[in-house]
Amino acid sequence: MDEEINYRTLRKIQQMEKNSPGLTSIQPDFYSSLTEYLNSLNDRFKKETASQKKTLLQDEIHNIKKISSNIYEQREKKILLAAVSKARGGNPDLKNLDDIEKKLFDNTLDIMLQTRKQIFGKKNANKSNKTEDTKQNETNPIVIVTQNIPEFVGTDTKKYNLRKGDIISLPIDMTDTLTKRNVVKRIKL
């Protein structure tokens, strides 16, 4: 996607990211292009003398920052879930990470693996394959919520208030029940 960064393209990226369980493809220099675009809007704002145009530019800058933040937060959540998946032995799809996001993924994964090593020590790292397979089967699945769900108390006695587009790890029994009701879908990372 080599489109020029503007409000329309950002909204398009935001919608694609919202509707996709995995990371969508963005141009390699997306974040630097976004910074340049915001800087140019700020420069125009500073130079503008007409109060009405200044107000419009200020609104546009505010909206662009809001959309940009939303895009990043959606991507950030998916990156962190991918790191969780990888730490648990999964093989997440990382092809749409840009360099900055790859660094976030790698650093997060490193911290998670170091923490696991500290907690479980080296003895547990050398368990038999059978034990590892059992552990993999006990891992809670990651799901995306397909429609708003009123607040409820789960089988784990935690309160849940799930909104369409949320990505969350749920206990297997809850995942099965909510999947049967067509309100969540499993994500294969």
Tokens at residue 189, please?
């990372």
Rg of the chain's alpha carbons, rounded to an integer?
A: 21
pLDDT digits (tens, 9 = 90+) for 74-93: 999 999 999 999 998 889 98
Q: How far apart are the C-alpha atoms of 52 and 157, rounded to whole Å?
A: 53
Q: Which residues of 6-15 are buried (b: 16+ CB within 10 A; e: fewer)?
A: eeebbeebbe
Length of the chain: 189
- CA 178, chain centre distance (Å): 21
Just give the CATH number of 7-138. Answer: 1.20.58.1030
Architecture in CATH for domain 140-189: 3-Layer(aba) Sandwich (3.40)
Is the pTM value of this prediction over 0.75? no
Lowest mean pLDDT among 2-11, 46-55, 134-143: 134-143
Lowest mean pLDDT among 34-38, 97-101, 128-132, 154-158: 128-132
Locate the domains of the chain by residue range.
Answer: 7-138, 140-189
Closest CA relative to residue 112, chosen from 70, 71, 84: 84
pLDDT digits (tens, 9 = 90+) for 38-51: 999 999 999 999 99
What pLDDT is attached to residue 186? 87
DSSP type of residue 69: H
What pLDDT is attached to residue 189? 57
pLDDT digits (tens, 9 = 90+) for 104-136: 999 999 999 999 888 887 654 444 444 444 444
